[in-house]
């Protein structure tokens, strides 16, 4: 089908695919096999981004989905191992151009600075995406949409899951 007739040419093509991380060769008990898209590598041009783990969510939810594969050039200088994906649950940040259903890329870290856009877990409300502001012993979580109320909670009642780094919007 490829118009290749020699075993040497086939071996070169397989070698090139292996160098790109798209396949791996396996040799067991005198037999040879090829595995497509090995689990430990998806190539040099694509990064594997895991979904953000949300406290209280079962494993059958978003966290158990297949990892998100993102072209490396979209990540800039960000380290793919430090990034997680989060599905925006609502339009509370629409004035920051983050809409319901967008895939938000977050840096996986437990702290934030004032004005950072964060993914935060609040006991009664679940995972939210808001702007972060310290107010003494409290934290104010501001929406970027006038239809949503801002939330003020004691700092010890929230858990910062990550800080906004980028956005992917599915084509609809």
CA pseudo-torsion sign 151, 154, 155, 156: negative
Give the chain's length: 172
C-beta of residue 162 within 8 angstroms of C-beta of residue 113: no
CA distance 134 to 148: 19
Q: Which residues are catalytic?
A: 92, 130
| C-alpha to C-alpha distance for 100 and 96, rounded to whole angstroms | 12
Contacts of 122 (CB under 8 A, 6+ apart): 128, 141, 151, 153, 157, 158
């Amino acid at each position: 089908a490829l118009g290749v007739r020699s075993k040497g040419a086939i071996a070169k093509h397989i070698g090139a695919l292996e160098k790109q991380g798209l396949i791996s060769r396996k040799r067991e008990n005198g037999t040879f096999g090829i595995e497509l898209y090995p689990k430990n590598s998806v190539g040099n041009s694509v990064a594997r981004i895991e979904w953000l783990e949300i406290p209280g969510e079962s494993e059958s939810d978003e966290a158990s989905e297949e990892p998100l594969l993102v072209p490396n050039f979209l990540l800039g200088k960000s380290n793919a191992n430090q990034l997680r994906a989060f599905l925006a649950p609502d339009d509370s940040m629409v004035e920051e151009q983050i809409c319901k259903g967008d895939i938000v890329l977050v840096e996986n870290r437990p702290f934030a600075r004032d004005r950072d856009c964060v993914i935060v877990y609040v006991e009664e409300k679940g995972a939210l995406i808001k702007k972060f502001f310290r107010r003494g012993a409290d934290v104010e979580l501001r929406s970027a949409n006038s239809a949503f109320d801002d939330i003020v909670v004691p700092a010890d009642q929230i858990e910062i899951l990550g800080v906004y780094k980028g956005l992917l919007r599915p084509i609809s």
